[in-house]
Amino acid sequence: MAVVKHLANHSGNYQGAIDYLVFQHDEVTGRAVRDDEGNPILREEFYMDGVNCEPLSFAAECRISNRQHGKNQGKDEIKAHHYIISYDPRDVEVGLTPQEAQAMSLALAKEWFGGHQCVVFTHPDGSEGSGNIHTHIVLNSLRIKDEPERGWMQGKSWLWRAGCKHQASDKFIAELKQAVMDMCQRRGLHQVDLLSPAKADRVTEREYWSGRHLSAKRVASAAKDTGDLSRKPDGVLTRKAYVRKAVRDATATAVDFGTFAGILDEKYGLGCVLSNGRIYYKHPDDARQIKGRQLGLDYEWPVIAEAIQSRIEHGETRERLGLLVELEAAQKAMRSPAYARKVRVSNVRRLAKTIAFVQESGISSLEDLNRSCDFAQDVRDAARKALADVDAELSSVNRAIRARGAYFGNKRVVDQYRRCTDKQRFYSAHRRELDAFMRAQRELKGLFPGGEVPSMDDLKSRKEALQALRNERYESFCEARYQLREFVTARRNIEAALRPREGVPRRARGDVGLDV
């Protein structure tokens, strides 16, 4: 999946961008990696091209153009724009090479930035060794040639005329993302909808590097204490990541907004406010509130409410046992005596529910509780395996339906290809249909080695039967998972209640604990 990222550069140091693309740099500090003599080390592999300039003289040519047009002389002006197109690491499996990515990105740059001086660099390696091919397009913000007028420009001449500056507006970014998606789909690469809001975690550039720097500081501190310099930076929870983790946990147990906010407050010390349909979270160490949409679409209240309602519709309406909160681990309880008393009262109620659950289940000892947990886990694992078997068969039927539709939908084009005389020209004109037919043919041969493919009606009937069976097994799995969670929670609460607390003196006989 190709991802497009845009960076605006107010610095007039054009050569700094070229040095970053040509030489190796540290991922955390951003400084150039140098050899023993202090010289920067070239990257092991990169590909470069220029549009309206030479790549290695890009900085000098940009400064000359800026002086000729009297642009980019102010301190606050945007001097350059940096676009990054990152491809999915799985694209290598479908034959994408750095050379092909460079050719596609160069064609894209000529089409969308043909009036600018720009350089195109492709690197085969990604951040943190991810191995994803990515391309950098760096362009001077000044346009030195007229560009073709596009429909979305709506007659605004400064968007295409020479002497004007590039405007990275929301409309332009959306059009560029659409062009990148079309390019990847034509090539058959993995691609997602770049124009839809992020449903998963919406991690900004600032949050990403904040986590990297926190991790690097932790490694440096550990190396100072232990002397171990070989440890690699690991991920740390930023404030937003902590809120995301808490919201996911609360969504899995809450039944309405009241219980949702209560779980965030009691277990994680987070504040939660719902105003005009928008949800706001408050981290105890942050003075500002965090909007739900800043974390991602999945963390807004309409999506959370839908997830809670879906869980209730699948039978998970019963109130689950809550874990006891350890006062020593609750940061807010350590700072607020009133909140600590509130947590103690909540723990007493949860412990009472735990004891009632244990008694109703006929458990009289920890050994019985451990055996019940093991049995519940075996039942859950068996239900999960049965559900996975149905899902695998249902996936095969869906693949067969899609492949059969593509096979017979493009068969007419294949028949024309077999009868035509100029096969190369016909293939160039109908490449998508012919490739889809070949993929469907291979898929059907893999699914049905015997050669007899069921009819579409038989496949759809089989799909309906499997869907009904899956619903039954999913309900059984939900029930088994619920029982396992209850037994495991009960065991953890009992163990926490029986565990001696260090530093807490035993109360003397007759001492009621009141200050008189």
DSSP secondary structure string for all residues of 467-504: HHHHHHHHHHHHHHHHHHHHHHHHHHHHHHHHSPPTT-
Q: Where are the alpha helices (DSSP H) in 193-238?
A: 205-226
Q: Is this model's pTM higher than 0.75 or not?
A: no
- Write the pLDDT tens digit of every residue in 326-363: 666 555 555 667 767 777 787 888 888 888 888 888 88
Q: Mind giving me the DSSP string for 274-323?
A: EETTEEEEE-TT-SSEEEHHHH-GGGSHHHHHHHHHHHHHTTTTSPPPPP
CA dihedral 345, 347, 351, 352 (to 10 degrees): 20
- Write the pLDDT tens digit of every residue in 445-502: 888 887 788 888 888 889 899 988 988 888 888 888 888 888 888 888 888 888 766 5
Residue among 12, 8, 10, 42 at smallest CA distance from 24: 42
Instruction: Work out whether the CA dihedral 448, 452, 453, 455 comes out positive or negative.
Output: negative
| CB proximity list for 220: less than 8 A, separation 6 or greater | none
Beta carbons within 10 angstroms of residue 312's beta carbon:
13
**Both structure tokens of 135:** 């391309």
Residue among 54, 152, 78 at smallest CA distance from 112: 152
Q: What is the C-alpha to C-alpha distance for residues 213 and 74, in angstroms, rounded to an integer?
A: 32
Pair 137, 5: CB distance under 8 Å:
no
Q: Mind giving me the DSSP string for 133-152?
A: -EEEEEEEEEE-S-----GG
Along the 516 residues of the chain, how does pLDDT read in single tens digits? 578 888 898 888 899 999 999 998 876 667 888 888 888 898 888 999 999 999 999 999 999 999 999 998 888 899 999 999 988 888 887 888 889 999 999 999 999 999 999 999 999 876 555 568 899 999 999 999 998 887 778 778 888 899 999 998 888 888 898 888 888 888 888 776 666 655 555 555 555 555 555 666 665 665 555 555 444 444 556 788 888 888 888 888 788 888 888 888 877 888 888 888 889 998 887 778 888 878 887 888 888 888 888 777 665 555 667 777 666 655 555 566 776 777 778 788 888 888 888 888 888 888 888 888 999 999 999 999 999 999 999 989 888 888 888 888 888 888 998 999 888 888 888 888 888 888 888 888 888 887 788 888 888 889 899 988 988 888 888 888 888 888 888 888 888 888 766 554 444 444 433 332
